[in-house]
Amino acid sequence: MIYGEILAGGKGTRMGNVQLPKQFMLLDNKPIIIHTVEKFLLNDRFDKIIVVTPKEWMNYTEDIITKFIGKIEKMAIVEGGSDRNESIMKGIEYIEETVGVNDDDIVVTHDSVRPFLTHRIIEENIDMALKYKVIDTVISATDTIIQSEDGETISDIPIRSTMYQGQTPQSFNIKLLVDSYQSLTNEEKGILTDACKICLLKGQTIRLVRGESFNIKITVPYDLKIAEGLLKGESGK
């Protein structure tokens, strides 16, 4: 089976003095998360779409989805964990507890605040995950990347042609991801930056899907202005 997992655990602290987490802020009169959920619902290959959110926001999440989209039988709202990877695992625990996990089941994980993903990106993630098991979505780095160990001096300047910027979706064979995560030490879990790192630490090959420059993550107020401009461009306003 093919699962979509939308991660909506952000607090929005970098958005400044706002009352709602960033995924619930309005973009063209709809919460950002609704734009993202709609993109997943447009793809009929998903057997189930899971939205993972903090416990205190579960009812609110369900309410706005019902308001803007309606009751969707193949959607579920699930309580998240203390960080991104624990939240992914909470979504997988829901799958294990409700229907069980088969050897070829995959999950397509995505940030709730990346509302501009395309049908092509989703399709390629699904196809590649079914074939290769671990997939990351990336775009080529356009700026030179500077590495600094101390934040004050340059440690290295990697060759730009080999550098990429990570996006989401990140997609996985579920059993492989769970087995890899459970075999990590606490020290390894402490250095995780995203879910693909789980598999990388365990020596798994991670295939790439090309993202899009407009598949932005809305994190700070400036990103919201860019998102508004992108929507205006799409609608021809």
pLDDT at 11: 63
- The residue range of the domain holding 72 is 2-235
CATH, residue 141 = 3.90.550.10
pTM for this predicted structure: 0.93
Cα torsion 167, 169, 171, 177: sign: positive
Q: Which of 65, 72, 92 is nearest to 198 (CA)?
A: 92
Residue that is written with structure tokens 């995950």 in the block:
129
Q: How many CA atoms lie within 13 A of 27 on its CB side?
A: 27
Total domain count for the chain?
1
- Over its length of 237 residues, how does the chain's per-residue pLDDT go in tens digits? 999 999 998 665 555 556 789 999 999 999 999 999 999 999 999 999 999 999 999 999 999 999 999 999 999 999 999 899 999 999 999 999 999 999 999 999 999 999 999 999 999 999 999 999 999 999 999 999 999 999 999 999 999 999 999 999 999 999 999 999 999 999 998 888 889 999 999 999 999 999 999 999 999 999 999 999 998 877 654
Give the span between the Cα atoms of 203 and 184, in whole angstroms.
12
pLDDT at 19: 78
8 Å CB contact between 211 and 139:
yes
Structure tokens at 201: 């630490």
